[in-house]
Amino acid sequence: MGITIKEIGFKTVRRPLKTPFKSVLQQVDEREVIVVSVQDESGDIGYGECVAFETPWYTEETITSCRFVLEHVLLPLLRGQNFQHPKEVWELFKAVKGNRMAKAAIEMAVWDLFAKQQQQPLWQFVGGILKAVPAGIVIAADPSQIGDRVAQANNAGYKRIKIKIHPDTDPFVLKSVVTNYPELLFFADANGSFNKANFERLKEFDDVGFTLIEQPFGEREWALHARAKAQLNTKICLDESISSVDDVQQMIDMKAGDIVVLKMSRLGGWTETLKVVELCREHSIGMWVGGMIEFGVSKAHNLALASLPGIEYPGDFSASTHFWEKDIIEPEIFVDNGEIQLSQLTGIGYKVDTAHLSPSEEAKECF
Ligand code: OSB
Ligand code: MG
């Protein structure tokens, strides 16, 4: 039994966003990802998506560094390997430091392949229980547009809205928006834009009505996050700070946060993510699944993750049409009454349409 990796494929997808994504860290107008496929002897194909950005503004990895590491480091280790369980991929890559987004892309593909071999939807294979996952949208726009964007999201059925904030954001403007929609959940994401000097400013966001504030301070600022957790009523949630299960342990030990944003790409794939989920459950740490302005392959993996018991908050799950003119999966992901139904098909549950990449995308195919 098990799986022997016979073929490995990589394709670059590069598409413009419908609307620019503006955060304090970066404006994203166009997105490039690498779709990884692995095939076994049976001909089944598993898919993963490498979601590093073009430049290192979110994590240190870039899509170029990932392409290098995939081609020259990870791929040679993977070729011809036999696995009894997809967790063995993490073991295989143990000698390779960091590069979690590159590793995650391959890991995802192998987990998908195993679920397909077992003829199970991936969400079932990993122990998921939800049949539908609550949707959630992110508003990363100029302050003057926030009111309109929230109204649009509400009309589209979203029940959870995440708004990007930074020290110059006016909390009173946000408060007037949030109080207009008492039935919606609002999250704030500061992407590490606050610091010791403007700590008091952060406190002004405490009575806006946010369910949580994501990553107010820099990724290694455990003490500042602990201070925020002690002094604010709003829950503190960590995103950039959490790259491993050890980081979650650090957050717990330092009392530096109440909630963790799960991002499989940042954590290095399913194996480490499942360990994080277990640790968070043990310590009653809240969890939800974060987005990466990603295409449907990554989204499908994340939907399976969000189906697990204990993921209590709605994640960054918007419809394919939110970012893209056309996604790379069939059917596309759509939001119905604030929810996304999980596919009942095996593996990630979607067809991957890499045969219809535009010529410029195909020209970038690298292996
Ligand atoms: O900080 O959560 C973040 C997107 C890219 C990089 C970092 C972040 C984000 C988002 C999620 O905010 C957007 C989405 O994909 O829905
Ligand atoms: Mg974030």
Spot the catalytic one: 11, 87, 116, 263.
Answer: 263
The encoded tokens of residue 62 equal 């870039």
pLDDT at 278: 98
Quick count: other Cβ atoms within 10 Å of Cβ 367? 11
**Percent of the chain whose predicted confidence (pLDDT) is above 90:** 93
The answer to whether 35 and 354 have CB atoms below 8 angstroms apart is: yes
Calculate how far, in angstroms, residue 21's C-alpha sits from the geometric centre of ligand 1. 9
Average pLDDT over residues 262-281: 98
* Nearest residue (CA) to ligand 1, atom 11: 291
Average pLDDT over residues 144-161: 95
Look over the chain and give the mean of its residue pLDDT values, rounded to a whole number.
95
Residue among 17, 29, 138, 164 whose CB has most ligand 1 atoms within 8 A, to mutate? 138
Average pLDDT over residues 242-262: 98
Among 197-201, 321-325, 358-362, where is mean pLDDT lowest?
358-362
Residues 6+ apart with CB under 8 A from 190: 24, 164, 165, 166, 202, 213, 214, 215, 216, 217
Average pLDDT over residues 310-321: 97
Query: 3-state class of 68 per DSSP?
Result: helix
Query: 3-state class of 190 per DSSP?
Result: coil
Calculate how far, in angstroms, residue 20's C-alpha sits from the geometric centre of ligand 1. 13
Average pLDDT over residues 355-367: 60
Residue 54 burial class via C-beta count within 10 angstroms: exposed 0-12, middle 13-18, buried 19 and up:
middle
pLDDT digits (tens, 9 = 90+) for 22-44: 888 899 999 999 999 999 999 99
Distance CA 140, CA 190 (A): 11
pLDDT digits (tens, 9 = 90+) for 193-208: 999 999 999 999 999 9
Average pLDDT over residues 214-220: 98
Degrees, nearest 5: CA angle 95-72-62: 85
Q: Is 121 close to ligand 1, i.e. is its CB under 6 Å away?
A: no
Selection from 339, 317, 287, 342 nearest residue 162 by Cα: 317
pLDDT digits (tens, 9 = 90+) for 47-75: 999 999 999 999 999 999 999 999 999 99
Cis ω for the linkage preceding 331 (within 30 of 0):
yes
pTM of structure: 0.96
pLDDT digits (tens, 9 = 90+) for 109-147: 999 999 999 999 999 999 999 999 999 999 998 888 999
Average pLDDT over residues 256-269: 98
Distance CA 139, CA 24 (A): 12
164 is catalytic: yes
Distance CA 74, CA 100 (A): 11
